[in-house]
Structure 1
Amino acid sequence: MKSLSLLLSLTASLALTSASVLDPIPAGASITLPRSVSGPSRFSLLGRGNHKKKKDNWGNAVEKDRKEVKIRASKNDQDDISDDFLWAIKKANHGGLVHLEKGKKYVIGKKLDLTFLKDVYVKIDGELKFTNDIEYWQKNNFYYDFQKSITFWVWGGKDIKIYGNGGVINGNGQAWWDGFSGAEILDPNNVFYRPILFLTDNATNIEITGLHLKDSPCWTTFLVRTKNVVFDDIYIDAVSTNVSSLPKNTDGFDSLNVDGLTVTNTRVNVGDDCFSPKPNTTNIFVKNLWCNGTHGVSMGSIGQYPGVKDYISNAWLENITLLNGQNGARLKAWAGPDVGYGYIDNITYKDIHIENTDAPVVLDQCYFNINETTCAAYPSKVNITNVNFLNVHGTSSGKNGRVVADLTCSPGATCSGIHLEGINITSPAGSPSQIVCDNIQGDIGVECISASEADD
């Protein structure tokens, strides 16, 4: 029996060696077959004890039953291993695993098209870091028309798991923040495009867990034409070492045309939206999310582009902590002479803890620097329906006086089924706190006043 096991092991090794002759392994790389291939047990050889192997959530092999592909680490921040990484991904595709080892750094200096994937694991225990060669990335990237988005790489395909135990994907954003001179992505005169750290496109079944997404030049994640994507146990931060060039537009989560977006057990410390699904995102689940110094947990913005219908629907957001931010729970839509239309429907915010936040609860239908006169002349055409704010408690910053919730619906839209319950938000500007509601159809569940009656 030992002879048969040895024979099978040697056969596997010879097959691997033959394959490597045809497709040479890069220096420092290795491929290790799982035990189930390199040394089957005597029970399986005899046809007895046919135990079923464990499967992952998608019915594929778990980590221990996958071949493992490793590549060399970078010697320094200029040592680009992009070609080695792409080779490893191709080798691990269709049932394998790429492993970036703990304590090692892997530098990516070329744009990577990873849209061909099917059943692959990428385990990041070390640090994967992008170069800050602004001149190269301005000319070599993947471009999306939506808000002039670019990215270093695009992930796509089916059944993709990217995970680790505190591993890092580092966008090396400081040079980008220093260089963009305050030109935000929605500035019409902006020609300084900054890459998104992680982007999926035309992808199904994506799982990202146990990682630190660090210092993205722009949005941290952008999910495009994607179905069933899960983030769990993620830490996102964007922290500048230069007080004169702070991170901008470094959202935690953004999406476009996505069905099934889950974010759980995650911390976000960035200078923009913590969580902000964009047009045509549905079936959203968020639980145990912590946000510091952000623009809030938002639905939208939507309705930006002329004549285009957008929507966001079916979102459940529970146990959210929002600290030291500009906004808390927010709905946002565009107004103006050249915008679109659409709806936000069936949204529930539940058990939301807010501290030192300018606008704890807000419905903003004059989004993005539009003045009151223009907003009144060209109101938003985004309907807001069936939205619940349940058990929202904490403190505002007092920036808006005693107003802790501002639900001002556009006169060009319908806002109905808006319900507030268990609202206990205080303001350092005084008491009692004020809740503004204008142009809302029906009873909202709590006492409210018009904007004209509120504190200045």
Structure 2
Amino acid sequence: MKSLAFLLSVTASLASATAIALGSDASSVFVPEGASISLPRALTSNSHHKQKDNWGNAVEQDRKKVTIRASKHDRDDISDDFLWALKKANHGGLVYLETGKKYVIGKKLDLTFLKDVYVKIDGELKFTNDIEYWQDNNFYYPFQKSITFWVWGGKDIKIYGSGVINGNGQAWWDGFSGAEILDPNNKYYRPILFLTDNATNVEVNGLHLKDSPCWTNFFVRTNNVVFDNVYISAVSTNASSLPKNTDGFDSLNVDGLTVLNTRVNVGDDCFSPKPNTTNILVRNLWCNGTHGVSMGSIGQYPGVMDFISNALLENITLVNGENGARLKAWAGPNVGYGYMRNITYKDIRVENTDNPIVLDQCYFNINASTCAAYPSRVNITDVKFLNVRGSSSGKEGRVVADLTCSPGATCSGIHLENINITSPKGEPQIVCDNIQGDVGVDCIPASEADF
């Protein structure tokens, strides 16, 4: 006979400095003020029919659920409670942040110990904007001087729900106004909203990632990360301090990066995998006001070889942006080298976009004479642009695609097909320079183009 399923819930009511024990063993489980632990439904005799997630682990209803108190105001830091909850939910549990409640994080958090954990966010998880604290207390990554509030790592991590992770970025944008993250003299570091390191199997679903001070997502030494049905935005309330460097997605040393059914409204790259990223899938992505769906930049650091390979980017809409489909590699003295290989852009729609298709091998802000003297050494091979349609803004004149390969690199196997992009400046032009072989469409050298 099937046994009945019972839900055991214990809620603490003592002061935050004390705790109560759940069960007869006082050392087994301690619950801080306002928190609770609910056990999963009881096992039935047919337990072998229970559902499993994509990684073979228990689904939500079969996990113990850990909740914590909400913040009373924007300075009421629940960082310690959140860390406690993750430790209690680790190895098969669920942390739940409730609808209509705010949870404020005011301390840096090392979350690299995770194994088989769900975090369901239906409320708002919000970081403080205490710039002085975060400048002194963060996790630092040398790559482009990156810092973050927290680091997620481990295996089988699912973060999902209908809620918000809020970077509280306005104060950071105001303070950073006019500066540049890649300026070698810059010491005003801004935190990344979500960062993984040494993680395998990370899934983020349904959330709104809002107002990151800097990049929104950065995946480091991570395998198999999937974002689905996510909204990313960075919108300033101060017209003189617009969001800057608020990329939607960045990566470093990643194998397996998937973005599905996602909308991005930020002031920088919509999607921009960085060095040593492979096996990329982007499908059903919408980008507004961005710097494009980019490969790179790579080749930045002296003597270092970078690569990006095996990417399929399809059914993407880019509106009101600087770039559409873009490949970018560093040039100049004291830079690195590498390659981009097997990249396919398919079914791309651009509207009011300055550079609908562009190969930029004079990155970053390198003038023509310096780029010619110290050309990029990043090879570009087997890249396809298929079924690209829409309109340019006319900022680059009649040019709607600019494929100018560095004289210091090899660009071969570049193929364009069904390119139907209009320009308000007249008959559209496609530029090809230093490209080996037939690209599949009529193109002209830059010297003949009507920029």
Normalised by the length of structure 2, the TM-score is 0.95
1:74-96 CA-to-partner distances (Å, cap 9, x unmatched) read 00000000000000000000000
In structure 1, what is the Cα distance between the partners aligned to 2:287 and 2:84?
A: 37
The one-letter code matched in structure 1 to 2:35 is A
User: What residue in structure 2 maps to residue 434 of structure 1?
Assistant: 429
- Inter-CA distance 50–109: structure 2 relative to 1 (3 Å threshold): closer
Task: State the AA in 1 paired with 2:126.
Answer: K
For 2:61, what is the secondary structure of its paired residue?
A: helix
Structure 2: how far apart are the matches of 1:5 and 1:318? 48
Amino acid at match of 2:417: E
Equivalent residue for 1:335, pick from 310, 331, 335: 331
Segments ≥4 residues shifted beyond 3 Å: 12-16, 18-23
Question: Which residue pairs with 1:353 in the alignment?
Answer: 349
Shift in Å at residue 108 of structure 1? 0.2
In structure 2, what is the Cα distance between the partners aligned to 1:20 and 1:353?
Answer: 61
Counterpart pick for 2:406 among 389, 406, 410: 410
Is 1:215 the equivalent of 2:211? Answer: yes
- Give yes or no for the alignment of 1:26 onto 2:29: no
Deviations 1:15-41 (A, max 9, x none): 9423565553110000000112xxx44
CA distance 1:394–1:20, shift in 2 (3 Å): farther
Give, as a single letter, the amino acid of the residue that structure 2 aligns with 1:64: Q
Pair 1:96 & 2:115 matched: no
Larger helix proportion of the pair:
1
- The corresponding residue for 1:128 is 125
Instruction: Give the partner amino acid of 2:233.
Output: D
State the shift of 1:368 in Å. Answer: 1.2
CA distance in 1, matches of 2:59, 2:376: 48
3-state SS in 2 of match to 1:99: strand
Partner of 2:41: 35
Alpha-carbon separation, structure 1, partners of 2:215 and 2:396: 28
- Cα offsets for 1:36-76 (capped at 9, x unmatched): 2xxx44xx2xxxx4542110000000000000000000000
Asked if 1:324 is matched to 2:320, the reply is yes
Distance 1:50 1:25, change over 3 A: closer
Which residue number in structure 2 is paired with residue 241 of structure 1?
237
Q: CA deviation at 1:183?
A: 1.4
Equivalent position of 1:376 in the other structure: 372
Q: Report the equivalent of 1:113.
A: 110
Q: Alpha-carbon deviations, 1:281-338, whole Å to 9, x = none?
A: 0000000000000000000000000000000000000000000000000000000110
Cross-structure match for 2:62: 65
Q: Does 1:266 align with 2:262?
A: yes
Which stretches in structure 2 are left out of the alignment for 5+ residues?
12-19
Distance in 2, Cα, partners of 1:75 & 1:271: 32
- What SS does structure 2 have at the residue aligned with 1:86? helix
Q: Tell me the SS of whatever aligns to 2:50.
A: coil
Paired amino acid for 1:240: S
Give how far 1:358 is off: 0.3
**1:87 paired residue number:** 84
Deviations 1:163-188 (Å, cap 9, x if unpaired)?
002x1000000000011132121011
Within-5 A mapping of 1:188-337: 188-337=184-333
The equivalent of 1:151 in structure 2 is 148
Name the CA distance, whole Å, in 2 between partners of 1:418 and 1:136.
48
Amino acid paired to 1:175 = A
Partner letter of residue 26 of structure 1?
P
Map Cα deviations across residues 107-126 of structure 1 (whole Å, 9 max, x no partner): 00000000000000000000
Q: Does structure 1 retain, via aligned residues, the 8 Å contact 2:275–2:306? A: yes
Aligned partner of residue 91 in structure 2, secondary structure = coil
Give the whole-Å Cα distance in 1 for the aligned partners of 2:25 and 2:107.
27
Number of aligned residue pairs = 443
Distance in 2 of aligned mates of 1:93 and 1:130? 23
